[in-house]
Each structure stands twice: as structure tokens, then as C-alpha cells.
Amino acid sequence: MNAAALAALGSNLAAAAATAAAVLLTAFAVGTARRLHRTVDIAWGLAFAAVAALSYALSSGYGDDGRRLLVAAATVVWGVRLAAHIAWRGRGHGEDPRYTKFLARGRGNPHLRALLMVYLLQAGLVWLVSLPVQAASYVDSPVGVPAVLGLLLWAVGLAFEAVGDFQLARFRADPAHRGAVMDRGLWAWTRHPNYFGDFLVWWGLYLTACGTREAALVCLVSPVVMTLLLTVGSGKRLLEAHMADRPGYAAYAARTSGFLPLPPRGGRA
């Protein structure tokens, strides 16, 4: 990456931060007006897609065209699919219990706390996690074996996530399953197939994006942060705390892997 590309990347980083903030601030305005802050979950995927599209547009003439297109398209597909699924899943529902509990805690204006601790925090995380997507647009080395392997990993992760979401939606749509714990299909192998899919997607994007040793070292923070968010941050940990008291969940957790897909203990599938 030459000096001109580095300077352009610096401008891209600033523009990406502004873009992520703009998407999340728009979501805050909508969520506050509707008194429904679960809209931030829709904005999460859209913000990544917006940053990827912006980086692709700003990097014309700098990076390898094949890598630029692969990384931008893969990120947009992942982000838009996630946003569309969350929007469809939440139609007709009230506030997410996580945000209800958060807004009920602490002092001061709850919407201001939501702005600072939910929306702007997520904007910062979008910017940080998307570093490989931004850097990839300015890496001039051609697509090689690591990038192809990364794209395959991304595809497996996206399929895992989409199939898991579809299986859960179909299970919940059956009135006979009201209040029951989903323990079939991919959900028999891991309690969080959608989070595991995200994990593969972002490690795959990292491999596809980083065509130089320097970019790989600088951008390693992205998949590491996403992994921590999914496993010990706002993903798996909070969801399992919410599900802990549901009838049958303790038995399900005892026989099902917490993250990595593994055969169910006891042979029940």
C-alpha cells in the first residue's frame, strides 16, 4: 500500500465513522419516535453494509478491483440479510426485553442513555469491526488462496446463520411449540447457530480482506472483537441469561454445545 493509498484510507476511516454514526443516529430518531429501541438491531447490519458500499465507492483507483468487489459485496449481502431478517422477526412485537431492562435502570433520561450506551456504542463497534472491509479496498495485491478460503468460510457462515434463523422461525410459527425450546436441526448441535454463523462470516471476511501482512496484523482486532461480542458480550451471554428460566432450557443446555457445533450429548438430535 503506497503513500497515496494510505492517505486515502485515512480519509475512508473518517468517512466510515461518520457513515456508521449517521445510520445509528437515524435509528435512534426512529426508535425514540416509536418508543421502540429494538430498531437498533436492524440498523446494525445496515450500518456495516453502508460502510462497505462507501469504502468501495471511495477506493476506486487504489486497491485490487477483485478484492474490493468481493469484500464489499460479501459484507453488503450479510448486512442486508441480517437487517431484513430482524425486521421481519420483530414485526408486530413490542420492545425487546433487553432494552426494557436497560432503560429501566439508572438515573436520568433513558433515551439519552440509550443514545450513548446503545446507539453510539454500536456505531463505534461497527467502525472497529469493519476495519478489514475498509482496508481491503486499498490493498493492491491480487486475490490469493487465503482470500478464497476466507470467502468459503464466509459462505459457510452465512448459510449456517440463515438456515438456523429459518429453522427457528418455522419452529416458532407452529402454535404447538408455544413456550417450547427449539432443539432441532442446527439447534441440536449448538445453542447459537446464528451467532456461530456470524463468527465464521467475520473471520472469513478478515481472511478475504487482508492481502498483506501489515493489513492482517492491524485488522486482526476486527474478528477478535466480534468473537468476544458474540460469546461473552451482548450475544450469547445475555440471551442465555434471558432464557435461563424457560421450562426445558436447563436440560437443553446440558446436552447441547454452547457455541461450536458438536453432536448432542446423549445422542438426542
Name the domain count of the chain: 2
* Final residue in a domain of this structure, among 141, 174, 192: 141
Per-residue pLDDT, averaged over 216-237, amounts to 89
| pLDDT, average across residues 164-176 | 93
Check residue 96 and give its pLDDT: 78
- How high does pLDDT run on average in the chain? 90
Residues 134 and 160 in one domain: no
Same domain, 86 and 212: no
Confidence of residue 1 (pLDDT cuts 50, 70, 90): low
pTM of the predicted structure, to 2 decimals: 0.91
Instruction: Check pLDDT > 60 for residue 267.
Output: no
pLDDT at 211 over 80: no
Question: Does one domain contain both 75 and 159?
Answer: no
Share of the chain above pLDDT 90, in %: 62
Could you tell me the residue range of the domain that residue 155 belongs to?
144-269
CB neighbourhood size of 246 (10 A): 12
Which residue among 125, 141, 157 closes a domain? 141
Residues 75 and 106 in one domain: yes
Given a cut of 80, whether residue 79 has pLDDT beyond it is yes
Q: DSSP H helical segments within 35-139, as ranges?
A: 39-58, 65-89, 97-104, 110-114, 120-129, 131-136
Question: Which three three-digit cell numbers place residue 223?
Answer: 474478528
104 and 213 assigned to the same domain: no
Q: Which tens digits make up the pLDDT trace of 16-43?
A: 999 999 999 999 999 999 888 889 999 9
Q: Give the residue from 122, 141, 160 where a domain finishes.
A: 141
Judge if 242 and 180 occupy the same domain: yes
- Give, in order, the Cα–Cα distances in Å from 193 to each of 20, 160, 189, 257: 26, 6, 8, 10
CA-CA distance, 4 to 54, in Å (whole number)? 18
Where is average pLDDT lowest: 174-188, 208-222, 247-261? 208-222
Same structural domain, 31 and 120: yes
pLDDT tens track for 184-210: 999 999 999 999 999 999 999 999 988
pLDDT band at 268 (very low <50, low <70, confident <90, very high): low
Q: Is the domain of 105 the same as that of 193?
A: no
> Would you say residue 259 has pLDDT above 90?
yes
The predicted structure's pLDDT at residue 203 = 96
Alpha-carbon distances of 58 from 5, 14, 21, 53, rounded to whole Å: 11, 12, 18, 9
**Alpha-helical regions (H) of the chain:** 3-34, 39-58, 65-89, 97-104, 110-114, 120-129, 131-136, 145-173, 193-209, 213-219, 221-231, 236-243, 249-255
Is residue 68 domain-shared with residue 150, that is, in the same domain? Answer: no
